Amino acid sequence: MPSLIFFITLGFIFSLAGWGGLLYLFLYTLPFLGYRWLFFLLFMIAVTGTALPFAAYLHMRFPSQPPVKMDTIIREALMMGAYADLLAWLQMGRVLTFPIGLFILICLVVMEILLRVRENSRWTPQESEK
């Protein structure tokens, strides 16, 4: 697994692109349909970039057996970005409530747990030593 510096750098690049793009979008565009979809794309990139170093730090601070791969950390950061994007989309339609947001969060956590269980069940010690 790459070092924490790699994830911090990658997260900084994503965050800079996402938050900078959102700032440009808010200041210099009108709310047309294409820009609304661009908002969702930039918001997901921004939240993913912000969550990436935290996800990497948590996996380095609390290691597991077998150790997590890089794609697991990126997947978890992308899930945070998708969750924030979904909440923003529901809020734009004025249908977001606390129980709905909590239910979506629980569903994403259960999905991640099941994916991790599947990854752990397919792990063999001989493959990890290579």
Q: Give the Cα separation of 120 and 68 in Å (integer).
A: 9
Task: Judge whether residue 19 has pLDDT over 70.
Answer: yes
Stretch among 11-15, 81-85, 111-115, 124-128 having the lowest mean pLDDT: 124-128
User: Which pLDDT score is estimated for 130?
Assistant: 52
Give CA 55 to chain center in angstroms. Answer: 9
The DSSP result for 31-90, as a single string, is --HHHHHHHHHHHHHHHHHHHHHHHHHHHHHS--SSPPPHHHHHHHHHHHHHHHHHHHHH
User: Which pLDDT score is estimated for 77?
Assistant: 96
87-94 contact pairs (CB < 8 A, 24+): 88/39, 88/40, 88/43, 89/40
pTM listed for this prediction: 0.87
47 neighbors 84 (Cβ within 8 angstroms): yes
User: Which pLDDT score is estimated for 65?
Assistant: 81
